[in-house]
A and B are shown apart, each in its own frame.
Chain A
Amino acid sequence: MLTDEEILSRITNVVRDQLDDDELTLTPTTEANSVDGWDSLAHVRIMIAVEEEFGVRFQTSEITSLKNVGGLVALVRSKL
């Protein structure tokens, strides 16, 4: 079983990869709006990449109704 920290760190890697920004750090309270380049278009790519990373599948409504990175971590954990 993965811990939240491990999930967060793997998500961070995915986002860094997708946004082409190696210095990016994410915390559970980070919101997409506050991350340079994480707009609605990038959001979809990121989420699909996260799906691939963890081998899970999100509902459309789950993808669009996330509040922050913590929510994403919880969502991933609930699918594992």
Chain B
Amino acid sequence: MSLVHPALLFMCLPIFLIVFAAAGRLWGSRGALTVLTAASLLFGATQGIAFLVVIVASALVNYALLMVIVRSDRPASVRLALYTGIAANIGLLALAKYSVWLGWIPVIGTASLSLAALIPTTLSFLTFQRSVALLDGFSARGAVATDLQKPRAGEALSPANPPLRFFAFASMFPNLLIGPIAYLVEVVPQFARSSFGRIRPIDLSIGLTLLAIGLVKKFYFADIIGRDWVDPVFADVAAHGATGGLRAIEAMVAYYVQLYFDFSGYSDMALGVARMMGITLPINFDSPSRATGIVDFYRRWHITLTRVIARFLFSPLSIAGTRYAARKRWRGARAQAVSLWLPLIVNFIVIGLWHGPRLTYVLFGTIHGLWYILETEVRGTKWWKKRRKTIAEPIRMLGGMALTIPLLILTFALFRSATLADFGHLLGSLGNPAQPGVDLPSTWKFAQLGLAYAIVMFGPNAYEMLGRYRPGIRSYINVSITPRLFAFRWRPTLFWGLLVCAAIAAVIGKMSAVTPFAYQVF
């Protein structure tokens, strides 16, 4: 079951909210947390019993290790617990996800294949969320210990509280499957608030709005664009090694927005569902499709993955590299190479590989890494620093987009290709003559793709529109480049109510055919 199932939205979710609110009223925040945890486990069970067993076992292990990390007085034990936890989490993820590459190893290969067969659901997001919780515990021991244990005003410290808060955080159903990957320090303090467990009308309004936006993105844009423009062409390339030139371009251009609508749609829904119970999750997308550079893009695209990898992989590597260069008194390119270039390349290859065991992802990561390095270096030159002040900001932004978007479209097509050969065939098809009758979809379909592009290029994103109500936690502060004419501001009024009402009503007719989210497999 995922968030787009009508059975979840129109049966499980309303029942959950009623029980959650009742438990909150009767037994306070602890009652509400218990209901949230139980509901999350039931939700996990719909992914299969094997999935449930694995996520519960992993939560128990992570909880025990986190307790050692925040409570132990011996630094050695703390480190040991941290490394054990990270190794266990990454090991489990690798087993479940990379069986294609592990198959040849005796025992491990077999275990990996059977685990992958038992658990078709992705563990990537929840494994990262739990690993990062251990790291949070390590880097902010005091705060995490307090967050996990702080009793409500007037209550005594209860040994029952810590595991409950951790379990609720580690298996929360809105973001269990496809993120956003939240930090423990972002979510657990919200559980500790005395108001937790009360459902407020404003939270419901914001939650329903985000949910409606996500549903429209999924059912009216992502699925339709994929069906009409993208899937047939990639299937054609996979089957015949070629396709029409115009179709290849159309598919690449369409996939760029399809993936955005698909994944950001899910993220909006996850934030929406969490908000209904009063929990604010981190924002995952901030108008990435109109990024003015690759650096800007990664501050706007899948933000919760970028920040995790940057914080726990890039930063330590870069710190070590910078120290090393400082100690060796290196300057110039050599210093840049160890303090920046190498950490960046590793960072991006890991981001690529995180999506799965495919060479296309490795190449995707490598290209983005090199691109990131190039852009950073160019932006860092004295020439550019002087030059940029002479160019008007709108021109600079448009120029940045003109350089960035085509290359992103190209690398997204690589990301979508099942094999490097498929991607080669797709590029090879660009010069092919048009196939009459097949190449040009109807005007209506063009209008739909055009509308999709207009929205990602000029429209405000959900979090800008809802900006007055703090719809999500911001990790990066990005400049908004929404034209003022379209800078709509949502308020819980009749006008916006009618819009959201129309959106939900329009989506209801489409919900019988649930297609999986693209990121459900990563």
Contact = CB atoms under 8 A, between A and B. Distances in A.
Contacts of A20: 385
Nearest to B340: A41
Interface stretch (A5-13, A59-67, A72-80): A59-67
A65 B477 CA distance: 16
Contacts of A52: 326
B486 interface: no
Contact of A64 (B315, B326, B340, B476): B315
A64 B308 CA distance: 11
Contacts of A61: 135, 138-140
A59 B139 CA distance: 9
Contacts of A64: 139, 311-312, 315
A33 interface: yes
Contacts of B363: none
A62 B316 CA distance: 11
Contact of B319 (A34, A39, A60): A60
B419 interface: no
Interface in A43-59: 44-45, 47-48, 51-52, 59
A62 B323 CA distance: 15
B322 A33 contact: no
B285 interface: no
Contacts of B138: 61
Interface in B301-342: 310-312, 314-316, 318-319, 322-323, 326, 339-340
B376 interface: yes
User: Which range holds the interface residue count of chain B?
Assistant: 20 to 34
A27 interface: no
A45 to B, nearest CB: 6
Contacts of B310: 40
B315 A63 contact: yes
A5 to B, nearest CB: 26
A40 B139 CA distance: 18
Contacts of A40: 310, 314-315
Contacts of A65: 139-140
Given A20-B385, A33-B477, A61-B135, A44 B311 contact: no
A47 B322 CA distance: 10
A44 B315 CA distance: 7
A34 B478 CA distance: 10
A40 B476 CA distance: 10
A20 B138 CA distance: 34
Contacts of B315: 40, 44, 60, 63-64
Interface string B158-174: 00000000000000000
Interface string B55-86: 00000000000000000000000000000000
B322 A44 contact: yes
Nearest to B343: A44
B377 to A, nearest CB: 11
B458 to A, nearest CB: 25
Contacts of B322: 44-45, 48
A45 B339 contact: yes
B477 A60 contact: no
**Top 9 A-B pairs, shortest CB-CB distance:** A61-B139, A48-B322, A60-B316, A33-B477, A44-B318, A64-B315, A65-B139, A64-B311, A44-B322
22 contacts: A40-B315, A41-B376, A44-B315, A44-B339, A45-B322, A45-B339, A48-B319, A48-B322, A48-B323, A51-B323, A52-B326, A59-B139, A60-B315, A60-B319, A61-B135, A61-B140, A62-B139, A63-B319, A64-B311, A64-B312, A65-B139, A65-B140
Given A33-B476, A33-B477, A65-B139, 9 more contacts: A20-B385, A40-B314, A44-B315, A48-B326, A59-B139, A60-B316, A61-B138, A61-B139, A61-B140
